[in-house]
Amino acid sequence: MKARDVVVVDGIRTAFGRAGEKGCFWLTRADDMVVRVIRELLRRNPRVKAEMVEENVWGATTQEGDQGLTLGRTSALLAGLPDSCSGFSVDRMCAGGLTAVTAAASEIALGACDIAIAGGVEHMGHHPMGATADPNPRFLTEKLVSEDALVMGKTAENLHDMFPEITREMADEYAVHSQRKTARAYSEGIIQKMIVPMTVYTREGWMVADRDQQPRPETTLESLRTLKTPFRAQGRVTAGNASGLNDGASGVLLMSADKAAELGVVPKMRLVGYAYAGVRPEIMGYGPIPSTHKILQRTGLTMEDMGIIELNEAFAVQCIVFMKEFGLKFPDDERFNALGGAVAFGHPLAGSGPRLAIHLMHLFGERPRARYGLTALCVGLGQGGSVIWENLQMNGSGTRSEE
């Protein structure tokens, strides 16, 4: 059986709040954020009835509490999807949401279902990364991995060690550009189109969460120079050139290309292929490089074919290493993270992968000449994930354009 084409019809996310008591989602459940995304995807696409959705897949790094009990199934029931809609949860840490998307897409490609919703959520205020984990002591006693592998900031310092030509000043310069791009995207009303407002209760009363809390548009090189390096004395990684700790959910609506045509739905992009790869856990930020090489080789495409590139931006150094590897212009290649990245928006772990796809979807609409785009991210404990997409907004019909 030939694999079917899988398309993204739509994508949406909540705002990304700061993790902790001062965050807008501190008194909001993670599964309720997922429900808000699911319901908005259906509201925005009335030709897709709830009873048509056959699968609901969600990624979360910490699968307990309000992110536990098989979130893909419980959120389907909470959102009003039919009992017939199956659901499951996945964990690939930072790539949990991306893995949910590729897993659901694989089901569609093989004919297991026609329509699915997939995404990722992380409430880092309720579930700090690794807080309840119990790593096997053999990891350290048998020196299977470095102690640095469990502290993401230390893995970023290790990348600086691998590439000593990448200085703290370069990382800070990159971070300033990220903040500026995000500020510009907000001023132009682009980001607002990707966020579903959510009414939430906070310690100050009710509010509408419709804007990311993490961006700092006032950031300057001078202000970044004053920040401490918490992971190493005289280090290079700071709070200013790293992503934040955040709460948020992102999701996409997927279906087969044939089903989209049957329903009269115009899709935004087609999944061309995906790949995951592993690296040494203590240099986890290097992960997107082998996963990207892998998918380029398997699809026969090159980085020159990629008109838009979205990388998660866990740390500035991670992005600079990627840019150097693939010959992208530092510090601001027009193809690369055009709306900013996680240094500005924040990084709610499993919620970040679908956010990249949503950015790409919108940028495809703004750049109809860009035929292909890449979404990629690094993954805690040493992995990378990369997905190549084809722009179906090139001719306005939701179909592939000829060369």
Active site residues: 94, 347, 378
Question: How many other C-beta atoms lie within 10 A of the C-beta of residue 106?
Answer: 14
Q: Where are the beta strands (DSSP E) in 131-260?
A: 198-202, 205-209, 246-256
Angle made by CA atoms 88, 89, 91, in degrees to the nearest 5: 150
- Which amino acid is it at 390? E
Alpha-carbon distance of 164 to 143, in angstroms, equals 25
Nearest to 112 by CA among 6, 11, 38, 35: 6
Alpha-carbon distance of 242 to 231, in angstroms, equals 12
Cβ proximity of 114 and 92 under 8 Å: no
Cβ-Cβ contacts under 8 Å for 370 (sequence gap 6 or more)? 307, 308, 363, 364, 391
Alpha-carbon distance of 334 to 330, in angstroms, equals 10
Burial annotation 130-163 (CB, 10 A radius, 16+ → b, else e): eeeeeeeeebeeeeebbebbbebbbbbbbbbeee
Tokens of 91: 């964990």
Cβ-Cβ contacts under 8 Å for 309 (sequence gap 6 or more)? 303, 328, 333, 335, 336, 337, 373, 374, 376
